[in-house]
Amino acid sequence: MSDRPIEPQRLYRQIAKQIQTLISSGEFAVGSRLPAERDLATQLSVSRPSVREALIALEVEGVIEVRTGSGIYVKSLGLRTKGKTASHHATGEWGPLEVMRARFLIEAEMAALAAQHATTADLKAMSLAFVAMQKDAKAGRMPRDSDIAFHMAIANACANSVIQDTLERYLQARNGPLFARLGDYFESPASWVAAIAEHKEVLTAIQTRNPQAARKSMQKHLRQAHKRFSASWRSAPSRS
């Protein structure tokens, strides 16, 4: 018997497995439309954000298909994909909305610390990243890299390597397939205009050395970001 500990399965993966079991049992037939997120959450006794993460994982695996403005449909049984079980994919990946909830907790305090301890070089790095975000958005590019640079500049201002490493890992999760697919649906020029305005509030609070305002501004930004990624599928722009 192996001495290796069994890694606990992430909640969204457990939910994805439950949904896939319902599909394979015939309760949700191939080609049929799944119940709405709210109804699935009630049926499975879990939160809607966790259901959304599970559905995104199943879409990445080819089990379901999201038709914007219509609903979510069963695409395949998804029992095996290229010789592997569908649940093999992204098993260890953090759920995007789970990451955002964690960021809400840690980054609010980071912003407050940055307002107290940021050096001139730190403030310059934040300003440069913010300007880069504006330029990216104006050019029609999703400013993901400059956004990461902005948040990491705040982390660096805390002068704590553990905080820096923690945030870096959170932000690296955005490169995973689940976050990328969620972004395909809910990131848009309009959403980034709103996000950039929220970043401006954070930057101003840090520049004016106001920890309370920095904390509240960062909480506002990440709360709104979570709302944007939790919006109705019907409000997502069509990818067709």
Verify that 45 and 109 share a domain, yes or no.
Answer: no
The torsion angles phi and psi of 176, rounded to 5 degrees, stand at -75, 160
* Predicted pLDDT of residue 235: 61
Query: C-alpha 136: how far from its chain's center?
Result: 20
Our count of domains for the chain comes to 2
Q: In this structure, is residue 125 part of a structural domain?
A: yes
Q: In this structure, is residue 6 part of a structural domain?
A: no
The dihedral through the CA atoms of 50, 53, 59, 63 has a sign that is negative
Q: In this structure, is residue 52 part of a structural domain?
A: yes
Select from 29, 53, 88 the last residue of a domain. 88
Select from 43, 58, 88 the last residue of a domain. 88
pLDDT digits (tens, 9 = 90+) for 73-101: 999 887 554 444 444 444 468 888 889 99
Residue of 28, 23, 43, 41 lying closest to 86 (CA atoms): 23
Verify that 30 and 106 share a domain, yes or no.
Answer: no
Give me the CATH number covering residue 173: 1.20.120.530
Q: In this structure, is residue 5 part of a structural domain?
A: no
Verify that 135 and 209 share a domain, yes or no.
Answer: yes
Select from 88, 111, 146 the last residue of a domain. 88
Verify that 37 and 145 share a domain, yes or no.
Answer: no
Report DSSP letters for 75-99, one per residue: ----S-BTTB-GGGTTTTPPPHHHH
What residues in the chain have per-residue pLDDT under 70? Answer: 1-9, 79-92, 232-240
* Predicted pLDDT of residue 69: 77
Q: Is 10 exposed, middle or buried (0-12, 13-18, 19+ CB in 10 A)?
A: buried
Q: Is there a contact between 24 and 79 (Cβ–Cβ < 8 Å)?
A: yes
> In sequence order, which residues have a C-beta less than 8 Å from that of residue 111 and are 6 or more positions away?
154, 202, 205, 206, 211, 214, 215, 217, 218
Q: Identify the domain containing residue 23 by its residue range.
A: 11-88
Angstrom distance (rounded) from CA 167 to CA 149: 11
Verify that 127 and 174 share a domain, yes or no.
Answer: yes
> What Rg value do the Cα atoms of the chain yield, rounded?
20
The torsion angles phi and psi of 236, rounded to 5 degrees, stand at -75, 140
Verify that 67 and 101 share a domain, yes or no.
Answer: no
Q: In this structure, is residue 2 part of a structural domain?
A: no
* Predicted pLDDT of residue 7: 45
Verify that 46 and 148 share a domain, yes or no.
Answer: no
Give me the CATH number covering residue 18: 1.10.10.10
Q: Give Cα separations from 175 to 30, 214, 227 (angstroms).
A: 30, 27, 20
Per DSSP, the three-state class of 67 is strand
